[in-house]
């Protein structure tokens, strides 16, 4: 038995979840959305508890980067938080942070976005760090491989185009390729995947681009977030 950290609904289910499974019967949130919420709650200094039990505090300022609706709608009811998108208003490209957003936020939540950055991954991560006030934190989620070594699906990518289920791309040497089995993820925006991380490589690239520490996200089985070491939810601090 567990109570959903997002909506407080009581659920019954398996003790171990995959990151995109075990939906809450109340709000349909997945393990990943609940893990993101729990890591934000605890990193803000609250005891692990359901978001619904927290009194609204508009002094806690945060921004979402591609968060799903179950997470973003509930965060915005408790904190001064807004979600952003790569393909719609409110628009944000984390490789091009506007001056008004520099060091403006206590927390950033970035849900399965970094694997979809086509070029300038390092610049995108630095952009996330630039959004944060000193001492601020980002909760980041990415799919994690269990095998050795980060996989770049389109190494040294220069340009690409998507035609139906086919990706045509050109590398920095001008060589042309066709990928007839690209990997697309659900959700809005640019949903073509460009890479998969491993735990070690992800931590390394985060620490090289503006963050001083990174740790695994929080777990709490009673809140619908049992421990899952390969699920790819992290807390990074500037």
Coil vs helix vs strand at 124: helix
Largest CA distance in the chain: 56
Token pair for 72 = 């973003």
Beta bridge partners of 81: 62
Q: Is the pLDDT of residue 14 over 70?
A: no
Q: Residue 191 — very low, low, confident or very high, per pLDDT cuts 50/70/90?
A: confident
Residue 20 pLDDT: 82
Angle, vertex CA 46, rays to CA 41 and CA 51, nearest 5: 50
Using a 10 angstrom Cβ sphere, with 0-12 exposed, 13-18 middle and 19 or more buried, the burial of residue 105 is buried
DSSP strand pairing (57-65 vs 105-111):
parallel
Residue 16 pLDDT: 61
Distance of CA 158 to the CA centre of its chain: 25
pLDDT digits (tens, 9 = 90+) for 68-77: 899 999 999 9
Q: Where are the beta strands (DSSP E) in 31-115?
A: 57-65, 79-84, 105-111
Residue 132 pLDDT: 98
Q: Set out the domains of the chain in order of their start, with CATH numbers.
A: 2-148+184-237 (3.40.50.150)
Q: Is the pLDDT of residue 190 over 90?
A: no
pLDDT digits (tens, 9 = 90+) for 54-71: 999 999 999 999 998 999
Average pLDDT over residues 92-108: 97
Residue 228 pLDDT: 81
Q: Residue 231 — very low, low, confident or very high, per pLDDT cuts 50/70/90?
A: confident
Cis peptide before 90 (omega within 30 of 0): yes
Token pair for 235 = 């807390």
Residue 223 pLDDT: 95
Q: Is the pLDDT of residue 4 over 80?
A: yes
Residue 176 pLDDT: 97
pLDDT digits (tens, 9 = 90+) for 19-64: 887 789 999 999 999 999 999 999 999 999 999 999 999 999 999 9
Range name among 68-72, 175-179, 211-215 with the lowest pLDDT average: 68-72
Residue 189 pLDDT: 60
Q: Is the pLDDT of residue 15 over 60?
A: no
């Amino acid at each position: 038995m567990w109570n959903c950290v997002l909506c407080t609904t009581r659920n019954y289910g398996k003790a171990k979840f995959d990151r995109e499974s075990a939906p809450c019967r109340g709000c349909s949130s997945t393990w990943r959305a609940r893990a993101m919420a729990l890591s934000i709650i605890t990193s803000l200094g609250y005891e692990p508890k359901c978001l619904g039990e927290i009194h609204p505090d508009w002094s806690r300022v945060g921004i979402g980067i591609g968060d799903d609706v179950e997470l973003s709608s509930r965060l915005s009811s408790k904190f001064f938080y807004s979600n952003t998108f790569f393909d719609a208003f409110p628009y944000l490209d984390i490789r091009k942070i506007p001056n008004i957003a520099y060091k403006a936020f206590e927390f950033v939540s970035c849900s399965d976005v970094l694997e979809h950055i086509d070029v300038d991954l390092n610049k995108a991560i630095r952009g996330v760090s630039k959004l944060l006030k000193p001492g601020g934190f980002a909760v980041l989620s990415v799919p994690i491989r269990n095998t050795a070594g980060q996989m770049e699906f389109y190494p040294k990518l220069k340009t690409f185009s998507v035609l139906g289920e086919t990706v045509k791309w050109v590398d920095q040497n001008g060589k042309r390729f066709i990928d007839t089995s690209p990997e697309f993820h659900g959700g809005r925006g640019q949903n073509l995947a460009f890479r998969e991380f491993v735990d070690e490589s992800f931590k390394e690239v985060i620490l090289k681009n503006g963050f001083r520490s990174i740790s695994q996200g929080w777990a709490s089985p009673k809140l619908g977030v049992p421990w899952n070491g390969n699920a790819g939810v992290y807390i990074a601090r500037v």
